[in-house]
Amino acid sequence: MRILIPECVRERMKCLPETGMGYQIVDINLSNGRRLRRVVLCNSVEVDDSEGALRGAEIVDGELSEGN
């Protein structure tokens, strides 16, 4: 399941360099206080949540993962 990231986070991510063609490896902060590391962000707009890690939480911020 792909989840669109909020517009405010999306605009910030669009300004950061890509890890590869059409994607970035990012760390995202969630509204429940959790931080997910090394998440694939596709085209600066959506993340894959097939494991359900985002269930019940919203993305509030993000940044490139270290080592990209």
Rounded to two decimals, the pTM is 0.84
Residue boundaries of the structural domains of the chain: 2-64
- The residues with which 46 forms a beta bridge, in sequence order, are 4, 42
pLDDT tops 80 at residue 67: no
Q: For 30-49, give the secondary structure using H, E and C.
A: ECCCCEEEEEEEECCCEEEC
pLDDT tops 80 at residue 54: yes
Q: In this predicted model, what pLDDT tens digit does every residue of 38-50 receive, in sequence order? A: 999 999 999 988 8
Measuring CA to CA, which residue among 61, 20, 60 is closest to residue 43?
20
The phi and psi torsions of 45 (rounded to 5 degrees) equal -130, -25
Measuring CA to CA, which residue among 25, 38, 35, 31 is closest to residue 60?
31
pLDDT tops 70 at residue 68: no
